[in-house]
Amino acid sequence: MSALRTLAFLALIGIASSQTSDCSYGGLLNYLNLTSTNNVLEITRPVKNWTTPTLVHLDMLLYGILEVDEKSQTVTSHIWFQMRWQNEFLTWNSSDFCGIDMLTIPRSRLWIPDVTIQEDASDSGSIQNSPLITLIPSGSVLAKGIQRLTFTCQMNLFLFPFDIQHCSITFTSMNYNGETLKLATTTSDTTLTSISERIMITHGEWQLKTIEVFNYTPTQDNKSEIKLVYMIKIMRKPMLYVINLIIPLLYFLVLDLASFFINEARGEKLSFKVTILLSISVLLLILQDMLPSTEVNLPIIATYSVTIFTLVGISVLEAILVSFLMELDDYCGKKTQSSVKTQVEIQLEADYHQEHVEVEEKGQVNPVPLNSQSDHNLLRLILEEVKAARQEAGSQDKDKRKPGRYKRLAEITDSVFFVLYLLTVIIFLIYMYILWCENCIANDNH
Ligand SMILES: *[C@@H]1O[C@H](CO)[C@@H](O)[C@H](O)[C@H]1NC(C)=O
Ligand SMILES: *[C@@H]1O[C@H](CO)[C@@H](O)[C@H](O)[C@H]1NC(C)=O
Ligand SMILES: *[C@@H]1O[C@H](CO)[C@@H](O)[C@H](O)[C@H]1NC(C)=O
Ligand SMILES: *[C@@H]1O[C@H](CO)[C@@H](O)[C@H](O)[C@H]1NC(C)=O
């Protein structure tokens, strides 16, 4: 009898303990009233007193920078984020439920704050929210998600390719104001940066400098404003652009300078310079593909390449001028020489004929009588001599005066231009160097 009583007592205890301490999730769901569709928990902010604001702790990690589009001013990145807030109705004592300290339920069963990113320009399919959310005994609810985020970022490309971009990702609520929803972050800036740096897989041409978090708490007169801003500072790795753009342009400029030492004579200099000009224009096309057409803060590299293009263009013009002067010189030389000859010849011929006729006509009247053929021949010989001498003297005179002048002019032009050009190039390069480096240093310290 006593044994039976003990048995019954034990059974009773068993029933009692199985009722109070349920080790399945079902019991906990029952306790939390989540088995039947509890609409209230899905549709309203889970607070007992509506004046209590819901504090949402938000953490974001940057997994990768996939693409930076300078033309459309967008950055495509890969982010991971989690939100944690308090649900006042879903608390339990874990020792009552076999120590269950975590419960996952479908996302659709609970209210979730409508936090969105202001700068988001992604297409709709890029968010991947976890289908489940996690509850813990104290009433905290945890929702996680990953997103391929394309966000707008106003870029300053003045220092391209040595630029550092400051982009912000602003979390805000579409419907709640500062009185009902608050945003905060749990991790500090330095932890956030170091974690992101460690986990980042794809860097591309960018290096993450820092991530800073700014929390705009609503002020007395600006209650509607709730914002959590992640300021991301990324630095471009400039080496590729230095190798692909800046150094080739510099080489072209040096080649153009060197081309002044090419012999003028055969027009090779001009064609060489034109080839350099064409090569630079190809590089300009590449550059145009990369940079947006903005009028404010024109990138230094644009000034750099256009100035080099202009310099080479001017030097081509100068080469054309010099070659024209040379041509003119040749032309004048030939023309004057031939014209001198003919003129002299005609003159002499005329003189000769005149004399001849005169001799023929009034042979007897001459003070010195020319009576024989040998005398005539002698005179003719003298005439030839005089003709040659006159011709020589005349042509020498012309040569000295006319054709040499253009050639010298061309040479002087070339020398003066070369000196000026070299000076301009040196000053320009120093100016570019200062402009770029000063700003780089300022940017680094900033
Ligand atoms: C679950 O619902 C019952 C009845 O509607 C209520 O008495 C109980 O307090 C609810 N439990 C919780 C945890 O809200
Ligand atoms: C709700 O909260 C407000 C402000 O905290 C308080 O004044 C009020 O008494 C609370 N109401 C209830 C029913 O607890
Ligand atoms: C949970 O329940 C145990 C035993 O029933 C109790 O000792 C403990 O204080 C409770 N914890 C909380 C947080 O209520
Ligand atoms: C509230 O904040 C917004 C955004 O920062 C600002 O534009 C606005 O001027 C502020 N209003 C007041 C009254 O301070």
Q: pLDDT (tens digit, 9 = 90+) per residue, 412-440? A: 999 999 999 999 999 999 999 998 888 77
Residue 273 main-chain phi, psi, to 5 deg: -65, -40
Per the CB < 8 A criterion, the answer to whether 72 and 122 are in contact is no
For ligand 2, say whether the CB of 72 is within 6 Å of any of its atoms. no
For ligand 2, say whether the CB of 36 is within 6 Å of any of its atoms. no
Q: pLDDT (tens digit, 9 = 90+) per residue, 194-239? A: 998 888 877 778 999 999 998 876 666 666 678 899 999 999 998 9
Q: Which residues have CB under 6 Å of ligand 4?
A: 221-222, 225
Q: How far is the CA of 34 from the centre of ligand 1 (A)?
A: 10
Q: Which of 30, 31, 33 to mutate to test the pocket of ligand 1 (most atoms within 8 A of CB)?
A: 33
Ligand closest to CA 49: 2
For ligand 1, say whether the CB of 89 is within 6 Å of any of its atoms. yes
Distance of CA 241 to the CA centre of its chain: 8
Q: How far is the CA of 52 from the centre of ligand 2 (A)?
A: 8
Query: What does the DSSP assignment read for 227-291?
Result: EEEEEEEEEE--HHHIIIIIHHHHHHHHHHHHGGGS-STTSHHHHHHHHHHHHHHHHHHHHHHHS
For ligand 2, say whether the CB of 49 is within 6 Å of any of its atoms. yes
Compute, in degrees rounded to 10, the torsion defined by CA atoms 72, 75, 78, 83. -110
CA distance 444 to 347: 84
CA distance 95 to 17: 12
Count the Cβ atoms, other than its own, within 10 Å of residue 441: 10
Q: How far is the CA of 97 from the centre of ligand 3 (A)?
A: 11
Q: Tell me which residue has its CA closest to atom 14 in ligand 3.
A: 93
* Placement of tokens 């939100």 in the chain: 83
* Placement of tokens 């709709």 in the chain: 124
For ligand 2, say whether the CB of 39 is within 6 Å of any of its atoms. no
**Per-residue tens of pLDDT for the chain, all 446 residues:** 455 454 444 444 444 444 455 688 888 888 888 887 778 888 899 999 999 999 999 999 999 999 999 888 999 999 999 999 999 999 999 888 888 999 999 999 899 999 999 999 988 778 889 999 999 999 999 999 999 999 999 988 888 888 899 999 999 998 888 888 889 988 888 898 899 888 887 777 899 999 999 887 666 666 667 889 999 999 999 898 999 899 999 999 999 999 988 887 667 888 899 999 999 999 999 888 888 777 677 888 988 999 999 999 999 999 999 888 888 888 887 776 666 555 556 666 666 666 666 655 555 555 555 567 778 888 888 888 888 877 776 655 555 555 688 888 988 999 999 999 999 999 999 999 998 888 777 766 65
* Placement of tokens 């992101």 in the chain: 196
Residue 311 main-chain phi, psi, to 5 deg: -60, -50
pTM exceeding the 0.75 threshold for the entire prediction: no
CA distance 108 to 436: 54
Per the CB < 8 A criterion, the answer to whether 283 and 249 are in contact is yes
Q: Is 166 exposed, middle or buried (0-12, 13-18, 19+ CB in 10 A)?
A: middle
414's CB contacts (< 8 A; 6+ apart) are 260, 264, 318, 322
